[in-house]
Structure 1
Amino acid sequence: MKGTLGLLTVAVLSAQVAAEEANLPSGNAELGFSNTSGNSEVTTVKGKVEYKHWINKFENRYLLEALYVEDEDEVSSERYYGEAQTNYRFNDKSYMFGFISDDIDKFSGYKYVATAAAGYGHRLYHEPKMYFDIEAGPGYSYKRVDRSQAPDNGNESAIIARVNAEYWWEFSENAEFKQTISSDISLSGYATISRSETAVIANLIGSLAMKFAIKLKHTTSPVDDKEKLDTETSMTLLYKF
């Protein structure tokens, strides 16, 4: 009897420790830099920081990223993006979310794009080395037009439907795959902006890893005849903490 009680106690304590470890703060920071000279002079700097922590049943996540590209002494790309999301977990699979973001892309025709949304999220599939989440809900988007690039365009204020999906797979002990797709669908006749990131992360040593990613950003009705599709391919060093 005492042996059985001892085993049960160990099992309960182990489960509690595992739950506490799962809820510990975590995050990662990545940095990429390249510079070429000679026949062409191009400088590229990319940085990103992501952090997650828990307060009771609230899971909070923050993300900041920046991209700067200078080509022949002229800036050809400059972008800053930030987002924050809080999830209230009903259980391991279901949650309500609140989301805000701000996108400053100096070559998009907008000074900034601010978005806020709330809705329901659900984990459709889960196992120790794989999960698939999907989210949906209503929101609001405000796009401030850059008058220097598009003097004849007005600012855009729209009710949106936000959808987001995230897939993660640890396909080996030292490598993982991650796919995220989101779309802020305008319900007011203005531009719908969709984003996608496909990434493979390979561990190097300790907390240091190498990340290869392809990012896509699609705008249905860009201002001032801008391109609808922006692509970004990157190779960065990533530090997990």
Structure 2
Amino acid sequence: MPKLLPAFLAAPLLMTATPVLSQEVQTIPDIAQALLDEAYKTQSSDEILAVTKAVKAVFPDYANQIEAQSGEKVAALAPPPPPKDTKNASPKTVPARGLFAVSPWDGKIQASGLLSTGNSENAAVGIAIEAERGTKKLTHNLKGYFDLGESNGVTNQKRWGAAYQLDYNFSDRSYAFGRVSFDEDEFSGFDYRLFTGLGIGHYFAKSEAFSWKAEGGPGYRYSPIDETSEVDESFAVYASNEIEWLIREGVKFEQDVTVTWTSPTTTLQSVSSLTTQLWGDISTGLSFEYRYETDPPLGRKNTDTIAKASLIYGF
């Protein structure tokens, strides 16, 4: 009898383990499988997952088998990722490659009527363009303008210029830049002015509603003087402060101030503008430009102002 006792005690344990072992190899009950099969026919991942959850709640002993089977069905319904096609992709979606492989230009063209005071006192017309394009690391900035005024067949205002700046972005807010600009104003006393320089800039605020950045650095300015034929060429320091404020949808205020210092003279330029969207890419704008020269050529005024009303096309 003592030898039979261990076997007698082990029998209930074996009987208890038998259903567990058999459940692991049992198939899903017919009624549960029938419900799942109907869900699979819909070819809908959401439908399959909903039915799977319900069947698992009714047949919890078969949850693992049900989950594995339904998972395979849902995975089979997932579409394969589309092949990459950079050959026919839009320029805006093609990834940048190389130093000058950058996204399309973004900017504006404006035609203006203007009133000037200072070295030129007259009404005139003008056209200007601003454009920008860039990658995460590089940003190209272009500006150009041309103003022309006549009275009784005599030109009494003619000024034009262009500037190019390349920014190298250290981060989302800080960058280094190289800049070159050319300005010619027949009534300023200077034949023309050429500036080139380097520097750093930083955005103190940067959002769609409000942005504020300042930049500056050393450079060189070359300025031939009309009447004396002298050349004012010297070390220069350039600084700029730019603010953009979206007052409300379609209405934007901008304030740009630039200063170029040299030992012979310092030039300050301030432009305040208010732009209102008419429809689509068309806007109207009002602006006021103030320019001050600390030591202008002999016989020239220190101050010039230009008030503009513009029609603007954004691109």
Q: TM-score range by the shorter chain?
A: 0.7 to 0.9
1:239 matched to 2:299: no
Q: Which residue of 1 aligns with 2:260?
A: 184
Offset at 1:56?
A: 5.1
Q: Which residue of 2 aligns with 1:9?
A: none
Q: Which residue of 1 aligns with 2:239?
A: 163
Q: Which residue of 2 aligns with 1:208?
A: 282
Between the aligned partners of 1:138 and 1:33, the Cα distance in structure 2 is: 35
Between the aligned partners of 1:144 and 1:53, the Cα distance in structure 2 is: 33
Between the aligned partners of 1:29 and 1:120, the Cα distance in structure 2 is: 27
- How many residue pairs match? The answer is 210
- Structure with more of its chain in helix, by fraction: 2
What RMSD in Å do the two structures reach over aligned CA positions? 2.0
Between the aligned partners of 1:221 and 1:44, the Cα distance in structure 2 is: 26
Offset at 1:68?
A: 0.6
Offset at 1:25?
A: 2.5
Structure 1: runs of 5+ lacking an equivalent:
1-16, 35-41
Deviations, residues 39-60 of structure 1 (Å, cap 9, x unaligned): xxx7622100111111451100
Between the aligned partners of 1:132 and 1:205, the Cα distance in structure 2 is: 27
Between the aligned partners of 1:106 and 1:155, the Cα distance in structure 2 is: 16
Structure 2: runs of 5+ lacking an equivalent:
1-91, 96-102, 115-121
Residue 312 of structure 2 aligns to a residue in which SS?
Answer: strand
Residue 298 of structure 2 aligns to a residue in which SS?
Answer: helix
Deviations, residues 49-77 of structure 1 (Å, cap 9, x unaligned): 11111145110010110111112322111
Question: Which of 198, 206, 224 lines up with 1:118 in the alignment?
Answer: 198
Give matches, 1:80-99, under 5 Å: 80-99=160-179
Question: Which of 276, 288, 291 lines up with 1:217 in the alignment?
Answer: 291
Aligned sequence identity (%): 22
1:73 matched to 2:153: yes
Offset at 1:154?
A: 1.7
CA contact (8 A) 2:166 2:178 kept: yes
112-121 or 122-131, which moves further after superposition?
122-131
- Structure with more of its chain in strand, by fraction: 1
Between the aligned partners of 1:81 and 1:197, the Cα distance in structure 2 is: 16
What is the letter of the counterpart of residue 241 of structure 2? A
Between the aligned partners of 2:156 and 2:261, the Cα distance in structure 1 is: 28
Residue 111 of structure 1 aligns to a residue in which SS?
Answer: coil
Offset at 1:183?
A: 0.5
Calculate the TM-score normalised by the size of structure 1: 0.82
Between the aligned partners of 1:49 and 1:92, the Cα distance in structure 2 is: 25
Runs of 4+ in structure 1 deviating by more than 6 angstroms, as ranges, are none
Q: Which residue of 2 aligns with 1:175?
A: 251
54-63 or 210-219, which moves further after superposition?
54-63
Calculate the TM-score normalised by the size of structure 2: 0.63
Between the aligned partners of 1:53 and 1:128, the Cα distance in structure 2 is: 17
CA contact (8 A) 2:124 2:157 kept: no
50-59 or 110-119, which moves further after superposition?
50-59
Q: Which residue of 1 aligns with 2:106?
A: 26
Q: Which residue of 2 aligns with 1:52?
A: 132
Q: Which residue of 2 aligns with 1:102?
A: 182
Between the aligned partners of 1:126 and 1:45, the Cα distance in structure 2 is: 34
Q: Which residue of 1 aligns with 2:15?
A: none
Q: Which residue of 1 aligns with 2:67?
A: none
Between the aligned partners of 1:180 and 1:128, the Cα distance in structure 2 is: 17
Q: Which residue of 2 aligns with 1:133?
A: 213
Offset at 1:145?
A: 1.2
Give matches, 1:33-48, under 5 Å: 33=113, 44-48=124-128
Between the aligned partners of 1:55 and 1:172, the Cα distance in structure 2 is: 28
